Amino acid sequence: MNDHLTRRQQEIYDYLQTNLDKFPHPPTLDELCNALGLSSKGSLHKQIQALIDAGLIEPMNNRRRGIRLTNPDRNEDQGLPFLGYIAAGQPIEAIEQRETVQVPDFLHTSRPCYVLQVKGDSMIEEGILDGDQIIIEQRDHARNGEIVVALVDGSEATLKRIEQKPDRVVLHPANANMSPMVYAPEQVQIQGILVGQMRRYH
């Protein structure tokens, strides 16, 4: 129990500690209201502001206006979560593994990030090689031209440079021997953008 919090603030903080990983993205106040069964967003906003003032959570500066826990020692103690393999080629099924990887601070952003290991050679002209570990900032949107983790048809993940048009999404490889992959917008879900890369030489 944090002595500086009211019982209600402690309850909200405990809920966030236990359940934040269950949200697909940093939750908004509306989503927290629904999850906590609260009818007044204004009341929750005051409680959340108190937790922000206490340095226990922080607002996300994105269009969703979500929040996340503040844990400055996360990377030193626990590392970033390793969520398996990502195809740099044809999509393969994303495999989630509950491990962590130590990542230097300069290779990731202050937003939630995770690590994937590359399989395939479709991004070699961007210097992304089979076996590399890449750091992904968790996001559900991207600008055209960014390299993204794209979930296709809800089950297969791939790493490509994205081009978004009103009627289609084009995933561009960085390999002259491969062709772009074209999907309907509803087939593609952005799961993050590439922000860092690590390689081990044997």
- Active site residues per annotation: 122, 160
From the CA atom positions of the chain, what is the Rg in Å?
19
Whole-angstrom Cα distance, residue 144 to residue 165?
A: 9
43 Cβ contact partners less than 8 Å away, ≥ 6 residues apart: none
H-state helical runs in the chain: 7-19, 29-36, 41-53, 74-77
Contact 191, 147 (CB under 8 A): no
